[in-house]
Amino acid sequence: MKNARPLIGTLFLTLWTIGNVFGAELSENGRSFARRHVSAAGGAIEACRSARAAAVLGFRHEHGFNVPQSYEIAAAYYHTAAACGDPTGQYLFGLSYDKGHGVAQDGVLAYMWLNLAAAHAPQLRRPYYLRTRDAVANNLTPAQLSQAQWLAIQWRPGTAP
């Protein structure tokens, strides 16, 4: 657990920095961003242009940083980022499924998104993402683990299970 703390701090600092870069535009316009990017039927391409911003907004909503705290809104933003292939969004969406924050708790989908995050993560974050994924795997039956791996193999950017 001692080794995880610096990585958690690095993740927070990265998201905080990105949030400050986009902060003025996103916090002022957060609700319209959600309507345009999270729930727009034909807006998948437009949403993927802002996948990292969606992950940052989700993090801000999950933790209540300068916006009202809401796990449901956070999960919607994480879903947008994850479906576009953003590893941070995939990791945070997987954690949402693991904890049941904003979505129904589901170990299979948690493992699937964490597995994808580990596969797409930058080399520095990959070991941490793998440890988190493996911790979730310890709570799954062999059949559930097989299903989660199959879902991860079948996943393509722009889609969600």
Query: How far is it, in rounded angstroms, from Cα 112 to Cα 129?
Result: 12
Query: How far is it, in rounded angstroms, from Cα 121 to Cα 71?
Result: 24
Helix axes 87-99, 107-120, angle to 10 degrees: 160
Q: Is the pLDDT of residue 110 over 80?
A: yes
DSSP one-letter code for 138 = T
Provide the residue type at 1 as one letter. M
Q: Is the pLDDT of residue 136 over 60?
A: yes
pLDDT of 94: 96
pLDDT of 31-90, one tens digit each? 444 444 444 434 454 557 788 888 999 999 999 999 999 999 999 999 999 998 899 999
Query: What is the average per-residue pLDDT within 133-152?
Result: 95
Percent of the chain at pLDDT > 90 equals 58
pLDDT of 156: 86
Report the chain's mean pLDDT, rounded to a whole number: 78
Flag the least confident range among 14-18, 78-82, 89-93: 14-18
pLDDT of 59: 92
Q: Is the pLDDT of residue 25 over 70?
A: no
pLDDT of 3: 54
**Structural domains of the chain in order of their starting residue, each with its CATH number:** 4-154 (1.25.40)
Q: Looking up tokens 């400050």, which residue turns up?
A: 20
